[in-house]
A = this chain, B = another copy of it.
Amino acid sequence: MHLSVQNISFAYGTTTIMKNLSLEVTDGQFVSIIAPSGSGKSTLFYLIGGLLQPQSGQILLESQSIVGKRGQVSYMPQSPSLLPWRTVQQNVQIAYEIRKKKPALSEIHQLLERAGLAEVAHHYPHQLSGGMQQRVAFIRTLAEDKPILCLDEPFGALDALTRTKMQNWLQLILKEEKRTVLFITHSIEEAILLSDRIYVCHASPLQVSHVFHVSIPMNERQKKHQATGWRELTQKIEEALI
């Protein structure tokens, strides 16, 4: 699954958000985007997801234009966006319903289990903590089962421990199923931990300023600061951001 964003421009009314932005995500790659708050990251996802249309430029998935086409990518929104009248389990189910697939309950339960949500499977969203809601949204996105995943700050409200758990889990899934991921995060650490490539952008308009290839081997990354090259990369990215 090759995703190619080519020279897109977009404006809300008269406020230009992006101008000739280009990005590439090659098959099986994990690509992170780090950019200032309010720079247009979520907007970029809306464009890729077909919710909005760029004023100019192309968005190609496997060389096919997906401009204005919805349902091509699995998307996790920044705010959990759970349906308040559905329990946790039913909220995950909706991902199957949209594909008109009979949901295998065991499958859903396995997902819930892995995210530590088995106990609250029959709770309503308003009975969950912020972090739990985010986890539900995350597994719902996994359940959408599209070849490319667009994750908008998936681990934003999670504590360090749960976060590490979820990150490991994500890596595990990616190893098994080899999905392509476009990942928005504001944590440099998280970006290095998970990515093959990191786009650092600046705002107004949103524009890629630096691209970093993460060459630290996967099995070394767990060590974080102790891993060779970690600290240097962190510093470089921090500098790129300023």
- Asked if residues A78 and B130 are in contact (CB atoms below 8 Å), the reply is yes
Residue numbers in B under 8 Å from A208 (CB-CB): none
- Asked if residues A156 and B156 are in contact (CB atoms below 8 Å), the reply is yes
Nearest residue in B to A202 (C-beta to C-beta)?
B161
> Number of A interface residues, CB 8 Å?
36
In the complex, which of the residues A129, A160, A186, A241 has the most CB atoms of chain B within 10 Å of its own CB atom? A160
Q: Residues 29-57 of chain A: 1 if any B CB is under 8 Å from the residue's CB, otherwise 0?
A: 00000111111111000000000000000
Is A79 part of the contact surface with B, judged by Cβ < 8 Å?
yes
Is A103 part of the contact surface with B, judged by Cβ < 8 Å?
no
Residue numbers in B under 8 Å from A40 (CB-CB): 129
Scan residues 159-181 of chain A and give those whose CB is less than 8 A from a CB of chain B: 159-163
Q: Residues 9-40 of chain A: 1 if any B CB is under 8 Å from the residue's CB, otherwise 0?
A: 00010000000000000000000001111111
- Asked if residues B161 and A36 are in contact (CB atoms below 8 Å), the reply is yes
CA distance A186 to B163 in the complex (A): 9
Residue numbers in B under 8 Å from A35 (CB-CB): 159
Residue of B36, B78, B131, B231 touching A159 (CB-CB under 8 A): B36
CA distance A156 to B78 in the complex (A): 11
Is A225 part of the contact surface with B, judged by Cβ < 8 Å?
yes
Is A214 part of the contact surface with B, judged by Cβ < 8 Å?
no
A140 CB, min distance to chain B CBs, angstroms: 17
CA distance A162 to B129 in the complex (A): 25
Give residues in A with beta carbon < 8 Å to B: 12, 34-42, 78-79, 127-132, 135, 153, 156-163, 186-188, 225, 231, 238, 241-242
| Minimum-distance CB pairs A-B, first 6 | A37-B131, A159-B186, A38-B129, A78-B130, A37-B162, A38-B132
